[in-house]
Structure 1
């Protein structure tokens, strides 16, 4: 499978532009994981870090779930990979963890995010509140934050991928 990434065209309305850049960055992370084995996807960037491509995918599943289910839609959605005792559990992958599971979970959270965002005005306050700050946000803020979150982690993914097999790209 080859992931196709398309930058949004420059003359879109704000919502379409935000959603276009979010999709572009989601596709970038998928692209960085293509063609690798589970062992490679579990490989940490550099000791002592536990950062791996599989860990990034699991982390982004958690981030999608947190913002679009808990905060935007006020759904009762427990964490998938982390706990209060292990807040970095999404990054701690084991030999038994598979990319097939991580990717399916991530894609399911992306679909839930799309469903929950559909039809919500960009400037409407969220139904839920952030669990740490107690604040409400807007969909505009969430989309912008998610673009930043993916862009930052895609930079990590680029370095990890280059370390694994020399593949580079924007």
Structure 2
């Protein structure tokens, strides 16, 4: 008796060959709409509009005209990097199935997910660093402000640690599925 009903159903659906090809899976997936992708597109659109609005007003609202050019360029580059990161995430998630068997597709997807996780954590760190550098450039520092900065950096470090753990959990879960699919019955 099979413990996992999903695995049992998959084995029954694959028939004698034991393998569904990616084309078959694409055809099955094409019959449904993708509400998750629709939500991701909506979030990406909202974030793009928010970042664009920020870039339109930061020069006047946050005294970008009084700051050196390299700080303005750093801020614009950080925002552009965050936008590219979001778009890359959408493309990674959009088409997880590749040529070959389900296991091969999942292995390829797992590798893409590992790379994207590293980019995700790095982009978050670089984006926050660029924002901090831009906004801290004209501050007159006192001991109280240093303590506030230390507290903020501690919170940011905890958020990055949490983000790392979330990605590690996702990758571990998918890795377990890939390993389980690779085991002979």
TM-score (norm 2): 0.29
Pair member with larger Rg: 2
Q: Identify the structure with the greater helix proportion.
A: 2
TM-score, normalised to structure 1, is 0.30
